Structure 1
Amino acid sequence: MTNFYSFHGTITMINDFFTGQNGEGCFNLVSVDNGLGALVNFVVSPNTYFVDHVMMSVGDQVTGYYDGNAPAPLIYPPQYQAIVMVKNSPYQNVKVDYFNTELESSDGRLRLNISPYTQIVLTNGQHFSRTPANRDLIVIYGPTTKSIPAITTPYRIIVLC
């Protein structure tokens, strides 16, 4: 179970990130500004999952998810290893979190109601045949109830194995 944290804002810069190994050009440093004076640099690697496999560019509104328990260098602006990047859209909501046996998120804000039309896939796009309960998930959904927790029938669930 990963302790997912997120940071939302506008991409202000995308640069190559040199690791000192033979991976030059494979890593990027993406600077995100939330418009309130906070800035975060995300290290984007080949393992970072981009929802809908979109190409991001300077000026895009994004949300980056990272492991809040992972070690991070004590520098300013903070620098985190991006696990999931989402280009924000008014047509869909995205939640990255651990979902328990009741398919409720770890923060207790969202509960999933799986329908036969809900796509459940792995990060490589292949079908996931087991239950998504008790796993780290990327949930793509639309409208929710106004209850606590909010209940939704997701469009797609991506299982983070």
Structure 2
Amino acid sequence: MKKFGSFSGKITMINDFLIDQSGMGLGCYKLMSVENDDGSIVNFVISPDTYFVDRVTVRVGDKVTGYYDANAPVPLIFPPQYRALVMVKNTPYQNVKVDYFNGELISSDNTLRLILSPYTMIVLENDQFFNRIPINRNLIVIYKASTKSIPAQTVPYKIIVMC
């Protein structure tokens, strides 16, 4: 079970990122700087394995949220640099939650409970159907509205199972 951290803001820079001295991966890895409204900056390392929700292409100026493994080791540099696991281009009327959901489909931080419907699309990261109940797994949940209860409840329109 991963503990996910997140950071939201506006993309201020996207550059190629060299991961080794051979130069073999040049162009395959990117360094993306994101600045929030308070002026805090985070650099995300974008790899070929980074999952972009809705397979969108992002550009400088886009508002995004990056999710990373909060328990993974990170270099002690400023600004902080995280390996992005999931990137979301923020759009109106769409909410995204990346977290571990238990056997009752409640997120690890107890802020969201999922109510599945026959119309909830449940897929793997490669867009193939997942034909089981997605309990006790790391999930990317895409939904529109939720209740104001604790935990909030929602009927997601799409769930991506992170295997």
With structure 2 as the length reference, what TM-score do the two structures score?
A: 0.97
CA distance in 2, matches of 1:37, 1:147: 32
Percentage identity across paired residues of the two chains: 67
Q: What is the CA deviation profile of residues 1-29 of structure 1, one whole-angstrom value per residue up to 9, with x for unaligned ones?
A: 11000000000000000112421110000
Q: 1:121 aligned to 2:113?
A: no
Amino acid at match of 1:30: M
- Name the counterpart of 2:153: 151
| Within-5 A mapping of 1:1-161 | 1-20=1-20, 21=22, 22-161=24-163
Amino acid at match of 1:16: D
CA distance in 1, matches of 2:38, 2:66: 17
Amino acid at match of 1:9: G
Structure 1 residues without counterparts, runs of 5 or longer = none
How far off is 1:35 after superposition?
A: 2.1
Q: What is the CA deviation profile of residues 88-122 of structure 1, one whole-angstrom value per residue up to 9, with x for unaligned ones?
A: 01121000000000000000000000000000000
CA distance in 2, matches of 1:143, 1:39: 29
SS at match of 1:65: strand
How many residues were matched structurally?
161
Runs of 4+ in 1 over 3 A off after TM superposition: none
Structure 2 residues without counterparts, runs of 5 or longer = none
SS at match of 2:54: helix
SS at match of 1:7: strand
SS at match of 1:106: coil
CA distance in 1, matches of 2:7, 2:25: 26
With structure 1 as the length reference, what TM-score do the two structures score?
A: 0.99
